[in-house]
A and B are shown apart, each in its own frame.
Chain A
Amino acid sequence: MNPQLVMYEEEYNQINAICERLTRDANAKVVFLVDKNGQLISAQGATADIDTTSLASLTAGNVAAMGGLAKLIGENEFPNQFHEGSRDSLHMTIVGSRVVLVVIVDTKTTPLGLLRLRVRKATDELNKIFEGLLKKTEQPGAGSPFAEITDDDIDNLFS
């Protein structure tokens, strides 16, 4: 089982910067980074018209289902997926077995080969950040920010 994902300001800014750069380099409409459990981590580009929460959840569902299929045929997972639409296409890459990098592009303006190249570069960088995050979470003292909450705090949410 994967440990809990904790995101800190420093890494969050680095991740956003990588996704933002990928949006430009790949001439993408949108770049998303989603936890495999369906939590949205970063969304860059023209996100205003997209339901990002739904996108995150469906991405996780899709990756989970494809992972299940991969195991059925003796593969560990399918690290890359490409879904071609009439206008926009969707590219998904699993990063460090833990998060999914989703890029939405018009493949008429961004050839698939170039997209893959840009995605690979971003994936390598993201991998390093998530490895670091994991180590940080495992350090002593990296406790829950909720360690001090009281029953009243919780009850107040429902009042």
Chain B
Amino acid sequence: MSFINYSSREINCKIVYYGPGLCGKTTNLQYVYAKTSSEAKGKMISLATETERTLFFDFLPLSLGEIRGFKTRFHLYTVPGQVFYDASRKLILKGVDGVVFVADSQIERMDANVESLENLQVNLAEQGLPLEKLPFVVQFNKRDLPNAASKEELHNLLNPRNVPEFEAVAPTGVGVFDTLKMTAKLVLTELRKDPR
């Protein structure tokens, strides 16, 4: 739920990266952080376990520039992907303006992808927020791996609604900014509508 401040002329929006464990959500944020100029980004926070698995969330604030005199700020969050952290995922989805679903392209992770996507829909529905009404982008990550499923297969399984989708290799940045830009565009486009 974006926050519009007329006084400081700022608009703040929240984008959540969702997906199964080890699909590359944190890696997406790390790449964005590494490649963004220091003026445009804040500190990246990772609440992770000792083995660098996301425990609660990663957080990265970004400033994208001005639209009609309003500074646009995006708060990027990841959720913990591991199945048993569902209570935390629900909390992070609160107030979300746009969702990126990061899918793991490896054939053996298809069940995990489907389960995570269904979990996303259930958790949003609990907030009275159908996924269909949210700015939503799908990223097929790990395209460089030899055991990656075909793009068609991933599309049919994970993107039947045909929302914008991108192929990515998050550690090298392939598709990372394309995914983020498209999501930010969809969120801003949504703001044209009445905020209530």
Interface range on chain A (Cβ under 8 Å from partner): 35 or more
Whole-angstrom CA separation of A70 from B7 in the bound complex: 35
Question: What residues on B are CB-neighbors of A8 within 8 Å?
Answer: 6-7
Instruction: Flag B67-87 by CB within 8 Å of A: 1 or 0 each.
Output: 110101001000000000001
Dominant secondary structure at the A interface: mixed
Is A1's CB under 8 angstroms from B7's CB?
Answer: no
Question: What residues on A are CB-neighbors of B184 within 8 Å?
Answer: 157-158
A27 at the binding interface (Cβ < 8 Å): no
Whole-angstrom CA separation of A8 from B196 in the bound complex: 15
Is A7's CB under 8 angstroms from B3's CB?
Answer: yes
B173 at the binding interface (Cβ < 8 Å): no
Determine which of B4, B67, B181, B192 lies in contact with A4 in the assembled complex, contact meaning CB atoms within 8 Å.
B4
Whole-angstrom CA separation of A13 from B8 in the bound complex: 11
Determine which of A12, A51, A146, A148 lies in contact with B42 in the assembled complex, contact meaning CB atoms within 8 Å.
A51
Whole-angstrom CA separation of A151 from B188 in the bound complex: 10
Q: Chain A interface: which of B22-30, B56-64, B101-109, B154-162?
A: B56-64
Question: Known: A144-B194, A147-B192. Contact between A61 and B91, CB under 8 A?
Answer: yes
Question: What residues on B are CB-neighbors of A144 within 8 Å?
Answer: 4, 191-195
Is B11's CB under 8 angstroms from A146's CB?
Answer: yes
B12 at the binding interface (Cβ < 8 Å): yes
Whole-angstrom CA separation of A54 from B87 in the bound complex: 22
Question: What residues on B are CB-neighbors of A124 within 8 Å?
Answer: none
Whole-angstrom CA separation of A135 from B135 in the bound complex: 27
Instruction: Flag A19-47 by CB within 8 Å of B: 1 or 0 each.
Output: 00000000000000001111101000000
A154 at the binding interface (Cβ < 8 Å): yes
Chain A contacts with B in 127-159, Cβ cutoff 8 A: 137-138, 142-149, 151, 153-158
Whole-angstrom CA separation of A13 from B5 in the bound complex: 12
Is A149's CB under 8 angstroms from B196's CB?
Answer: no
Chain B contacts with A in 86-105, Cβ cutoff 8 A: 87-88, 90-92, 94-95
A17 at the binding interface (Cβ < 8 Å): no
Determine which of A51, A65, A158 lies in contact with B56 in the assembled complex, contact meaning CB atoms within 8 Å.
A65
28 example contacts (A-B, Cβ-Cβ < 8 A) are as follows A4-B1, A4-B2, A4-B4, A6-B3, A6-B6, A7-B8, A12-B6, A36-B94, A37-B1, A37-B14, A37-B94, A38-B14, A53-B61, A54-B43, A61-B47, A61-B57, A61-B59, A65-B56, A65-B91, A68-B87, A138-B196, A143-B194, A143-B195, A146-B188, A146-B192, A151-B189, A154-B67, A156-B67
Top 7 A-B pairs, shortest CB-CB distance: A37-B95, A12-B7, A64-B91, A146-B191, A39-B3, A4-B195, A7-B5
> Besides the contacts A57-B59, A146-B70, what 6 more A-B pairs have beta carbons closer than 8 Å?
A7-B7, A36-B94, A38-B59, A137-B196, A143-B194, A153-B68
